[in-house]
């Protein structure tokens, strides 16, 4: 059964019009097709029956694409379970790094290279400034987001940082006072800017970054672009610390596996135009609504398709993958905290009968994918 207020329904209704007016990359077409097919006959499914009340229901398979607003819950829960084993009993800070809008065209042209540069520069900026200003070696979790509330292209990096780290000799845990911000914002912004600029120039010099003529025709033009970008505000900011590990886990649950727009934000779709909720950061985070043509909504959404196999969540400092487990164990010993986290509420049983709420839904028959000729097909 079609759900009219979902991104999938919008893709099925307006995907053909989008392809007729816009050239999409193969990756964008794959994502659009997955979302359009998700939980429909095109994916196949299974017929289940309750072993108690005999209630029957057909379940269509999900696409499991990481961009799909209807999927990802299982992956998120699995990831959070691992983070729950790693969280430290210290305050955590939230830091955000952004880049000037004039660099957006460059990011869109070479997303895999530029996204990696942004994540690495954000993590390294925090590590460098913490070592030079507070004499402490910290750990950083970084998350790439590319959208604003209205789905415009707005690449930025969210960072979650434990409120402390190791002394340079590794023998002490150095706490960062909770009554202060983590690090000076202007210093962080300048260091991040320098790291991004240098990494872009190095990628161009070693041939890994090709820049189209409309952006920069040679190294001199690239230097001019970066110089102009340096004159604008990069808008990094540091928030006050979270209350503790429970709060940081709640934050991670909301941010790490988020997509550009959730189905819950879509409030109306008449077949041609979509109305959705957003928060206006320029007006005190006030809740508002916006109406867009469905084709424009899909175009904006597809700006945020990340390259295949690209890792949006990365770790730096003492949280880097290679030594994370050992460093966390060492940090806990130095912090000398015996505090344990309360158990996470169990996820609802997906096999519980929705009718009697007592029986278990058992698969009686599988249904093969019923792929019809669609506007995705080239022949």
Cα(184)–Cα(237) distance, rounded to whole angstroms? 9
Cα(105)–Cα(334) distance, rounded to whole angstroms? 46
Does pTM top 0.85 for this prediction? yes
Q: What is the CA radius of gyration of the chain?
A: 23
For helices 294-302 and 7-21, give the axis angle rounded to 10 degrees: 90
Q: What is the mean pLDDT of residues 50-58?
A: 96
**What one-character-per-residue DSSP string does 283-320 give?**
GTTEEEEEEEEHHHHHHHHHTTPPPTT--SEEEEETTS
Task: Say whether pLDDT at 80 is over 90.
Answer: no
Average pLDDT over all residues of the chain: 90
Task: Say whether pLDDT at 305 is over 60.
Answer: yes
**pLDDT value, residue 233:** 77
Cα(372)–Cα(379) distance, rounded to whole angstroms? 12
Taken in order of first residue, the domains within the chain and their CATH numbers are 1-71+261-302+358-379 (no CATH), 73-260+306-335 (3.40.1310)
Higher pLDDT, 22 or 216: 22
**pLDDT value, residue 285:** 85
pLDDT band, residue 375 (cuts 50/70/90): low
Task: Summarize pLDDT for 239-263 with one digit per residue, the tens.
Answer: 777 767 778 887 887 788 889 999 9
**pLDDT value, residue 376:** 59
Q: What is the mean pLDDT of residues 130-150?
A: 95
CB neighbourhood size of 241 (10 A)? 23
pLDDT band, residue 1 (cuts 50/70/90): very low
Q: What is the mean pLDDT of residues 300-312?
A: 96
Per DSSP, the chain holds a count of helices (H) and strands (E) of 10, 13
Task: Say whether pLDDT at 284 is over 60.
Answer: yes
Q: What is the mean pLDDT of residues 214-225?
A: 88
**pLDDT value, residue 378:** 46
Task: Summarize pLDDT for 318-362 with one digit per residue, the tens.
Answer: 999 989 999 999 999 999 876 666 666 777 888 999 999 999 999
């Amino acid at each position: 059964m079609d759900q009219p207020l979902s991104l999938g329904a919008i893709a099925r209704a307006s995907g053909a019009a989008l392809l007729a007016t816009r050239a999409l990359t193969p990756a964008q077409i794959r994502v659009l097709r997955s979302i359009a097919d998700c939980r429909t006959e095109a994916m196949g499914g299974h017929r289940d029956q309750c072993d108690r009340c005999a209630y029957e229901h057909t379940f269509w398979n999900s696409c499991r694409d990481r961009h799909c607003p209807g999927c990802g819950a299982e992956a998120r829960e699995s990831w959070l379970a691992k983070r729950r084993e790693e969280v430290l009993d210290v305050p955590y800070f939230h830091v955000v790094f952004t880049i000037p809008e004039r660099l957006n065209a460059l990011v869109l042209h070479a997303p895999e290279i530029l996204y990696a540069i942004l994540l690495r520069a954000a993590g390294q900026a925090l590590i460098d400034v913490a070592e030079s200003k507070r004499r402490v070696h910290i750990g950083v979790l970084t998350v790439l987001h590319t959208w604003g509330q209205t789905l415009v292209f707005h690449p930025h990096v969210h960072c979650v940082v434990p409120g402390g780290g190791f002394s340079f000799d590794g023998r002490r845990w150095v706490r960062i006072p909770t009554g202060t911000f983590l690090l000076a914002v202007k210093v962080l912004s300048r260091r991040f800017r320098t790291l991004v600029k240098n990494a872009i120039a190095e990628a161009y010099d070693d041939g890994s970054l090709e820049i189209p003529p409309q952006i920069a025709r040679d190294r001199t033009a690239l230097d001019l672009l970066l110089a102009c970008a340096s004159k604008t505000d990069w808008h990094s900011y540091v928030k006050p610390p979270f209350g503790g590990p429970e709060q940081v886990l709640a934050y991670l649950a909301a941010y790490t596996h988020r997509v550009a727009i959730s189905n819950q934000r879509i409030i109306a779709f008449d077949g041609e135009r979509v109305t959705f909720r957003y928060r206006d950061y320029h007006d005190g985070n006030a809740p508002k609504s916006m109406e867009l043509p469905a084709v424009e909504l899909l175009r904006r959404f597809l700006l945020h398709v990340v390259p295949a196999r690209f890792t949006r969540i990365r770790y730096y400092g003492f949280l880097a993958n290679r030594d994370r487990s050992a460093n966390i164990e060492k940090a806990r010993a130095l912090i000398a905290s015996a505090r344990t986290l309360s158990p996470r509420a169990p996820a609802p049983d997906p096999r519980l009968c929705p009718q009697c709420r007592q029986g278990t839904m058992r698969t009686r028959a599988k249904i093969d994918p019923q792929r019809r000729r669609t506007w995705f097909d080239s022949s």
